[in-house]
Chain A
Amino acid sequence: MSHLKKRRVAPGRPPPFLVVLACLGLVVFVVPLAGLLARVPWSQMPRILASDVVGDALRLSLVASLSATAIALVLGVPLAWVLARVEFPGRSVVRGLITLPLVLPPVVGGAALLFALGRRGLVGEPLGELTGLLLPFSTWGVVVATTFVAMPFLVITVEGALRNMDRRFEGAAETLGASRWTVMRRVTLPMIAPSLIAGLVLTWARAFGEFGATVTFAGNLQGRTQTLPLAVFVALESERDTAVAISLVMVVISLAVLIALRDRWWRAL
């Protein structure tokens, strides 16, 4: 898509103090990772990674993070579209509400979910009486908690793209007789595709690493609600080797996904 290509500016010589600060900034990210790598029990890795605890947690983490990403796609894109295109009173309040999970401590989010969707919760109690559905201590609870924490990344990224895109393309398509649904499908979505993918990746990554809201709302039980971050937290108190091994798995998976997709899709951002 040629309109997304940016002109490359020839890089000049960077000011030295900027380079020094940039290096310090990089150190903030690299040092903790180096600390983790220094503690990796390489010879124990196969045994630890083959254990039931790690297998169950990995499966749950993948199921929960991918489900949260799918829900964010189905509900988050329409939300972003409404926020970007429809003027309504209180829009900035709604936008603030959606951004809230990004800045709120996840434990607070988990507690709020418990009070809303728990067995005695505002919505949870009538829901349970009608359907028998119980979210806390279930895998669905994990999906709800991770969606709550991660979906804002998708909404914000897509909303930004919708607001910044050149709307004359949509206008042209409409003039040529395309229906609104066709314009959405054939013009709008392809134009914001890179941002959409980037938002989905960020959403997935945040969901994959979610801890606080999950443990507070969904609890911690192997095979049902214990995701990889919860398994790390539990292992940290007893078997440090296991904790480090699982952490390494999370770092490798997340980094691989972020690097691979960044190179493919994020050049447009």
Chain B
Amino acid sequence: MTRSRLSPTVAVVLVLAACGGAGAETPSREVLVSAAASLTDAFAEMKTAFETANPDVDVVLNLGPSSGLREQILEGAPADVFASANTSNMDRVIEAGEVEGEAAVFATNLLQIAVRVGNPAVVTGLEDFDRDEILIGLCGEDVPCGEFARRALADAGVTPAVDTNEPDVRALLTKVEAGELDAAIVYVTDVASTDGGVEGVDLPADQNVVAEYPIAVLANAPNPEAAAAFVDFVLSDQGQAILTGYGFSSP
């Protein structure tokens, strides 16, 4: 009788071995990765590649706005790895003593204006974001993409005529894709992910904001070995190649 699931006894032995911190063994079991919503596609491929290299590990992705993930971690939700879309959310987790070791920046991203296909509202830059007659969306102020977008707008001296503050970058992008919003500020990687569902308008380099993505193993990680292995994998050449494939830059 072949069964793919471990018998309870074997499972208990494995858990005890893992808790004992046996050290140099290959990582096993489940590793829960809380990752920013803008990493959705890149981390899906990262998961597959990591699991291929480590067949005993099951990567579980918990995707959402970085600020929401931070709250989950601070409230004690079990997670092994935190990958944030900005440094401020990671800093709050570090201050709370929830990070094991140090956080490392594993990717950078740039902002881009997403407009409807054909750009019917003729949006050419940040200057258009104070136009009342078109429908403008941003991410909420506390979500990284909203924080960066507001910084870019403030630097450009533009007071945006916002029509909606969406809870995360994917929700915002969906509304542009559906044609409900004329323009929104998202990441370069998000525009690329829609395969032509929206069009991107580049920001000049002096107006853009570089978003840094930090990653860290969490102090209360149920599976610290696998967590460390996953972080190493993200930082490795193979992991970086996956990220650049989705439009991210290497730090």
B236 within 8 Å of A (CB atoms): no
B68:A237 contact, CB within 8 angstroms: yes
Residue with the highest number of chain B CB atoms closer than 10 Å, among A137, A221, A225: A137
Distance in angstroms from B154 CB to nearest chain A CB is 18
A234:B163 contact, CB within 8 angstroms: no
A136:B180 contact, CB within 8 angstroms: yes
Stretch at the interface among A80-88, A98-106, A112-120, A193-201: A112-120
B164:A115 contact, CB within 8 angstroms: no
For the complex, count residues of B whose C-beta is within 8 A of A: 21
Residues of B within 8 A of A220 (CB): 140, 164-167
B15 within 8 Å of A (CB atoms): no
Distance in angstroms from A139 CB to nearest chain B CB is 12
Q: Is the interface of A mostly helix, strand, loop or mixed?
A: loop
Given A115, A137, A221, A240, which contacts B178 in the complex, CB threshold below 8 Å?
A115
A120:B179 contact, CB within 8 angstroms: yes
A120:B175 contact, CB within 8 angstroms: no
Residues of B within 8 A of A240 (CB): 71
Whether A120 touches B178, Cβ cut-off 8 Å, given contacts A221-B162, A237-B142, is: yes
Residues of A within 8 A of B179 (CB): 118-120
Interface digits, B162-187 against A, CB 8 Å rule (1 contact, 0 not)? 11111100010001001110000000
Residues of B within 8 A of A118 (CB): 178-180
Binding site for A on B (CB under 8 A): 65, 67-68, 71, 135, 137, 140-143, 162-167, 171, 175, 178-180
- A sample of 13 cross-chain residue pairs with beta-carbon separation below 8 angstroms, ordered by A number, consists of A114-B178, A115-B178, A118-B180, A119-B180, A215-B166, A216-B171, A219-B137, A219-B175, A234-B142, A236-B71, A237-B140, A237-B142, A238-B142
